[in-house]
Amino acid sequence: MNVALIGYGKMGKTIESLSGEMNFTVTHKFDELNPFEKCSDLKVDVAIDFTTPDLAVRHIIHAINLKIPIVVGTTGWYDRFNEVCEYVKNNDGSLFYATNFSLGVNLFFNLTEKFTKLMNPHQSYTASLEEIHHTEKLDAPSGTAITIGEKLIGSSTQYKSFELIENKETQFNTSILPIRAIREPNVPGTHTLKFESDVDFIEIKHEAKGRLGFAKGSVLAAKYIIGKTGIHTMSDLLK
């Protein structure tokens, strides 16, 4: 499998380090000095994008135009999601996107649904979500936190929406799930879902040890999408 890395920062370098272990070759690396959008002819099996929200949509469209399947780990561009999906479908493109490529996080998503359903009859508990990421993370709440929020809302009889809060003391209508986003130097990512009552709290937590889990997941997604068209997610891969 020949791979083009779009974005050669910490994630791009981590993905490249797996080439021997996961049997693929990085043949092209794109960054600010070598922009992907200026490439007019590219012979690779798949592209993997870890860049910034403002670039991700342009990269997806350019990859589709070049007839290259693309795996996108960048988040924060979902306000244009419907537009992008329409473009992919109309041009027989291949897009694999995920708010998080970690197997553990995707198990956390499933656990959120089960946890929420168990808590539904117990209205004395209120839910909250906290996420911690590195200071280079541009979007808040994170794509992962948004997915957790959506999973909770879809399984809850109480919560109808979520909203970003500045501090723990902020009070909301009981139908709104509060999400607190914290940015600290050199942390790979932590998400904690808590249900709290007057007497105790119950929480589930995922804390990444590093970038390796995300990198491995993106490579598995790249192998999965080759030869396929349409929109694909981690749910498809995990099946």
Domain edges within the chain:
2-101+212-238, 103-207
Instruction: Choose, from 59, 137, 206, 232, the residue flagged as catalytic.
Output: 137
Calculate mean pLDDT across residues 15-44: 96
Calculate mean pLDDT across residues 43-48: 97
**pLDDT at residue 31 is higher than 90:** yes
Q: Looking at domain 103-207, does it have CATH number 3.30.360.10?
A: yes
Residue 188 is predicted with a pLDDT of 82
User: Do the strands 161-165 and 176-184 form a parallel or antiparallel pair, or are they unpaired?
Assistant: parallel
User: What DSSP letter does each residue of 113-154 carry, written as one string?
Assistant: HHHHHHHTT-TT-EEEEEEEEETT--SSS-HHHHHHHHHHHH
Q: Which is the CATH superfamily of the domain at 2-101+212-238?
A: NAD(P)-binding Rossmann-like Domain (3.40.50.720)
Instruction: Choose, from 10, 117, 122, 133, the residue flagged as catalytic.
Output: 133
Residue 186 is predicted with a pLDDT of 83
**pLDDT at residue 167 is higher than 80:** no
Using a cut of 0.85, tell me whether the model's pTM lies above it.
no
Residue 59, helix vs strand vs coil: helix
Nearest to 28 by CA among 5, 62, 12, 11: 5
191 given a catalytic annotation: no
CB 59 within 8 A of CB 49: yes
Calculate mean pLDDT across residues 223-229: 97
Q: Do 103-207 and 2-101+212-238 fall under one CATH topology?
A: no
Cα-Cα-Cα-Cα dihedral of 185, 3, 212, 237, to 10°? Answer: 120
**pLDDT at residue 135 is higher than 70:** yes
Banded model confidence at residue 174, pLDDT cuts 50, 70, 90: confident
80-116 pLDDT, tens digit per residue, is: 999 999 999 999 999 999 988 998 999 999 999 999 9
Residue 11 is predicted with a pLDDT of 93
133 given a catalytic annotation: yes
Mean pLDDT of the chain: 94
